[in-house]
Structure 1
Amino acid sequence: MGIATLINEVREFGDFEFYPTLDSDIALIKKHIDLLGYDKPYSVLDIGVGDGRVLNAIAHEYGEKYAIEKSLPLIRALPADIMIVGTDFMAQTLIDIETSVIFCNPPFTQYSEFASKIIAESLAPDVYLILPTRWSNNQAIKDALARRKATFTILGNSDYRSADRPARCTADVIHISLSSCASRRWDRATVDVDPFAAWFSDNFDIDAQGSAARKADSLHQNVQPDKFEIIAGGDLISTLVSHYDASLEKLIITYKGLEHVDGSILDELNVSIDSIYAAIKLRIKSLKNKYWKELFNRFTPITDKLCTSTREEMQTLLMKNVNVDFTKENAYAIAEWAVKNVNKYIDSQLVSVYESLIGESNITLYKSNQRTFGRSEWLYNRKPSGLDRFALDYRIITSNYGNFGGYSFDRINGLSKSSANKIDDLITIAHNLGFDTLGQERASTVEEWEPGKLRTFHYFDHTAQKKVVLFTARAYQNGNIHRKINQGFIARLNVEFGRLRGWINTPEQAAEEIDGVDIDCAKQAFQSNLKINVGTQFLKLN
Structure 2
Amino acid sequence: MSVSTLRLVQELKNNNQDFEFYPTTADQIKTVVSDIKSLKGRFDFTGRYRETVKLLDIGAGDGRVLQAIKESFSEDEYFKIDPYAIEKAPIHTATYREKGITLLGTEFSQVNFISKNCTIAFVNPPYSDFNYWLSTLISHLAFGVLYAIVPERWADCPAIAEAIKIRGIKQTKVLAKDDFLAADRQARAKVEIIRFSFQNLDEDAQENARFRGRNYKPSVDQQGTDPFQLFIENELGLKKTYSSTNEKFSEYEQRERIRKAMETEGSESYELVKTKGVLWALLDNYEIDLANTLEQYKLISQIDPNLLQELGVDYDGMRKGAKEKMFGYRNVYWSLLFDKLDAISNRLTTKHRQQLLKTLSSNALDFTYTNALYIVQYAVAYANELIEQSLIDVFQNLTSKDAISRYYVSNQHVVKDDWRYNETQKKAKYLLDYRFIHSNWSNFGSNSYEKGLNEGARHFTNDLIVVFMLLGYSNVYANTGYEYVGYGDKVSIMGTTPTGDVIELLKIRFYKNGNRHLSFNQEAMLRFNVTVSRVLGWVRCKEDFATETEAKRTVSDAIWAISDDMKVTTASVPLLVSKVA
TM-score band (shorter)? Answer: 0.7 to 0.9
Per the alignment, residue 205 of structure 1 pairs with 237
What is the aligned partner in structure 2 of residue 393 from structure 1?
Answer: 432
Change over 3 Å in CA distance of 1:217–1:162 after alignment to 2: same
Preserved CA contact (<8 Å) 1:415 1:449: yes
Alpha-carbon shift at residue 308 of structure 1 (Å): 0.6
Secondary structure at 2:443's aligned position in 1?
coil
Opposite residue 356 of structure 1, the aligned amino acid is N
Which amino acid is the alignment partner of residue 71 of structure 1? A
Q: TM-score, normalised by structure 1?
A: 0.85
Residue 95 (1) aligns with residue 127 (2): no
Give 1:284 shift.
Answer: 1.4
- In 2, the alpha carbon distance for the partners of 1:343 and 1:83 equals 18
Aligned counterpart for 2:567 among listed residues 520, 531, 534: 531
Deviation at 1:362, TM superposition (A): 1.9
Note closer, same or farther for the CA distance 1:252–1:528 as it changes in structure 2 (3 Å cut). same
**Whole-angstrom distance in 2 between the partners of 1:200 and 1:136:** 27
Q: Distance in 2 between matches of 1:531 and 1:296?
A: 18
Partner Cα separation in structure 2 for residue 180 and residue 507 of structure 1: 70
Change over 3 Å in CA distance of 1:511–1:45 after alignment to 2: farther
From 141, 145, 154, the equivalent of 1:135 is: 154
| Closer, same or farther: CA 304–2 of 1 in aligned 2, 3 Å | farther
Aligned to 1:165: 185
Report the CA distance between 1:416 and its aligned residue: 1.9
Relative distance call for 1:279 and 1:388 in structure 2 (3 A) is: same
1:355 aligned residue? 396
How far residue 443 of structure 1 moved from its aligned partner, in angstroms, is 7.1
Residues 466-501 of structure 1: CA deviation (Å, up to 9, x unaligned): 224433222222212222334444344444444554
Other-structure match for 1:7 = 9
Tell me if the contact between 1:492 and 1:525 (Cα under 8 Å) persists in the aligned partners. no
- Judge conservation of contact 2:236–2:294 (CA < 8 Å) in 1: no
1:307 Cα deviation after fit: 0.9
Match of 1:470 among 505, 511, 517: 505
Partner secondary structure for residue 502 of structure 2:
strand
Residue 44 (1) aligns with residue 55 (2): yes
Given candidates 88, 93, 96, the residue that maps to 1:70 is 88
- Of the three residues 464, 477, 492, the one matched with 1:441 is 477
Identity %: 26
TM-score, length-normalised on structure 2? 0.80
Aligned length: 528
Which secondary structure does the structure 2 equivalent of 1:311 belong to? helix
- Alignment partner of 1:483 is 2:518: yes
Distance 1:285 1:491, change over 3 A: same
Shift of 1:519: 6.4
Which is worse superposed, 32-41 or 98-107? 32-41
Cα distance in 2, alignment partners of residues 118 and 43 from structure 1:
16
Bigger mean CA deviation after superposition, 328-337 or 504-513: 504-513
Post-superposition Cα deviations, 1:81-124, rounded to whole Å, max 9, x if no partner, equal 43332221112321112332322222222222211111111112
Report the AA paired with residue 66 of structure 2: L
* Aligned equivalent of 1:296: 338
Answer 1 or 2: which has greater helix percent.
Answer: 2
Give the 3 Å change call, closer, same or farther, for CA 369–405 of structure 1 in structure 2.
Answer: same
Question: RMSD over aligned Cα, in angstroms?
Answer: 3.6
Of 416-425 and 388-397, more deviation after overlay is shown by 388-397
Q: Which residue of 1 aligns with 2:64?
A: 53
Partner Cα separation in structure 2 for residue 343 and residue 185 of structure 1:
45
Query: Tell me, which stretches of 5 or more residues in structure 1 are unaligned?
Result: none
Task: State the shift of 1:75 in Å.
Answer: 2.5
Q: Is this contact kept in 2: 1:507–1:526, CA < 8 A?
A: no
Distance 1:187 1:416, change over 3 A: farther
Instruction: Please report how far the alpha carbon of residue 239 of structure 1 lies from its aligned counterpart in structure 2 after TM superposition.
Output: 0.9
- Structure 1 position 234, deviation (Å): 3.8
Letter in 1 for 2:20: E
Asked if structure 2 preserves the Cα contact closer than 8 Å seen for 1:496 and 1:529, the reply is: no
Q: Is the partner of 1:103 in helix, strand or coil?
A: strand
Provide, for residues 182-211 of structure 1, a one-character-per-residue CA deviation record: whole Å limited to 9, x for no partner. Answer: 79979774322111111122113346536x
The C-alpha deviation readout for 1:18-60, integer Å capped at 9, x for no partner, is 3333344344434544552534322233322333333344348
Call closer, same or farther: CA 1:219–1:420 in 2, change over 3 Å.
closer
8 Å CA contact retained: 2:489, 2:510: yes
Question: Does 1:228 find its partner at 2:271?
Answer: no
Distance 1:10 1:514, change over 3 A: farther
The amino acid of 1:474's aligned partner reads R
Cα distance, 1:30–1:473 mapped onto 2, change above 3 Å: farther
Q: Which runs of 5+ in 2 are unaligned?
A: 75-79, 206-215, 263-269
Alpha carbons 1:511, 1:522 under 8 Å: kept: no
Q: Relative to structure 1, is the Cα distance of residues 365 and 341 closer, same or farther in structure 2, using a 3 angstrom cutoff?
A: same
